[in-house]
Structure 1
Amino acid sequence: MARLPRLTVPGYPHHVIQRGNNRQPVFVDDQDRETLLGLLSEYATKHKVAIHAWVLMGNHFHLLATPATDKGLPLMMQALGRRYVQIFNRRHVRTGTLWEGRYRATLVQTDRYLLACMAYIDLNPVRAGLVTKAADWRWSSHRHYIGLHQDRLLTPHPLCWALGNTPFAREAAYADLVQQGVALDQQAQLTDATLKGWALGDRSFLEQIEVQTDRRTTRGRAGRPALKKPG
């Protein structure tokens, strides 16, 4: 079966995962992490992609990003992946692939899933047992949103501004949101939709995206469609 084209729609947030090949590390040290963030900033600006959240793990990374054009996100990820591998291979005296094929991505319904997706991204190091609190992990956007660090890579989504009338109120509200965690069913939905490339939202949202893109947003049922009964 032919692979569906990746679903990318300008103006909507997308959750992106890029993994290392065979789960191998894609960051050896902090210099590698700084390199990737620098390249991400460069290519996000060039291709007009707003980065709302990010986390760098050992063998993969996550982004939450809104492209301004239909080509912006794939062009950014292609340039980022290629250039980072060149630098990584040269620095660590290696050859060959680094990534596990194409990046994975899902389009998320803003009002229903955006803040949950941000918290999901922030809590990756906690779920992996690397830290006990999201704020203890240096390599994510979480510290920016709770007022511990200024990250010029980020473009906060309007939903973040709506969390409070002052910076302190927004930071406190976001910290509380992350501390509450993400429900297990939402975690599963975010992971499954991203890895399979489907959109994530309610029925009305999915129907809207299908009309807009002329593409399925969820897996169709197997077999032939049922016939309507006469009368």
Structure 2
Amino acid sequence: MPRISRGLIDGSVYHVINRGNGRQVIFHKDKDYQAFIGIMEEAKVNYSVKVYAYCLMPNHFHMVLMPEEATHLSKMMQWLMTSHVRRYHRHYGTSGHIWQGRYKSFLIQMDNHLLEVLRYVESNPLRAGLVNSAKDWPWSSYHELSGKRQRLWIDEIPIELPRNWGEYVNEPMKKNELDKLRQSVNRQSPYGSPSWQIQMTKELGLESTMRPRGRPAKMGEMKK
């Protein structure tokens, strides 16, 4: 399968995800989560990338990032992944692949669609059945965005958040919202309004991310 173009624009917001190789558990204990967060903090400073939200799950992570320069996103992620793998192998005495490959990312429209992505990221532990409330998961930006914890390295969101962030995050997302978001996660297609998606896919050469998957129907099949 051909690689999808990153479709990067200076000063734009992206959702980033990566999973453990074979969906293996990456974070085995608190110190593993803490170490990864420490590497994230260093990476954002080194590469001038704003971190708006994150959630570390046992076998994958989500981030919402805004690089000042588009090329800084891939540089930051390469450094982050490499630094973490070195730490992991040194700590556990292992070798080989830790992550499934290069990270996936998609561009986000900076309006209510960004709020939906932030909510999707921080409610991940809820959907996975790991906690009963987003506040009970310590490895996300939920406490910073809800105002329960000082923002030491999480950046201010460029749009206004709902007043009761906790209620917003904990309210179950509708199936159509999840389906649309998961399509962007899996296909790396821009996430936003239909007109904005069309505009962005044309400008960035990402039309393939919006096309239905599977082989085209043959003429005989189309007539049935």
TM-score by length of 2: 0.88
Give, in angstroms, the shift of residue 68 of structure 1. 1.3
Is 2:190–2:201's contact at 8 Å kept on the other side of the alignment?
no
Give, in angstroms, the shift of residue 12 of structure 1. 1.9
Give, in angstroms, the shift of residue 206 of structure 1. 2.1
Amino acid at match of 2:178: Q
| Equivalent pairs, count | 215
Give, in angstroms, the shift of residue 214 of structure 1. 4.2
Matched, 1:35 2:26: no
What is the rounded CA distance, in whole Å, between the counterparts of 1:126 and 1:2 in structure 2?
A: 34
Structure 1 residue runs of 4 or more that deviate by more than 6 Å after TM superposition = none
Give, in angstroms, the shift of residue 223 of structure 1. 5.5
Q: Paired residue for 1:228? A: none
Question: Equivalent residues in 2 for 1:131-210 (5 A)?
Answer: 131-159=131-159, 162-163=160-161, 172-210=163-201
What stretches of structure 1 of length at least 5 have no aligned partner? 164-169, 225-231
Q: What is the percentage of aligned positions where both structures have the same residue?
A: 31
1:85-139 Cα distance to aligned partner (Å, 9 max, x none): 0001110111111001111111111213111111111111111111100001111
- The Cα RMSD (Å) is 2.0
Is 2:53–2:118's contact at 8 Å kept on the other side of the alignment?
yes
What is the rounded CA distance, in whole Å, between the counterparts of 1:48 and 1:186 in structure 2?
A: 31
Is 1:55–1:140's contact at 8 Å kept on the other side of the alignment?
yes
Give, in angstroms, the shift of residue 215 of structure 1. 4.1
Is 1:10–1:70's contact at 8 Å kept on the other side of the alignment?
yes
TM-score by length of 1: 0.85
Is 1:50–1:155's contact at 8 Å kept on the other side of the alignment?
yes
Q: Paired residue for 2:221? A: none
Structure 1 residues 139, 99: closer, same or farther in 2, change over 3 A?
A: same
What stretches of structure 2 of length at least 5 have no aligned partner? 218-224
Question: Equivalent residues in 2 for 1:13-92 (5 A)?
Answer: 13-92=13-92
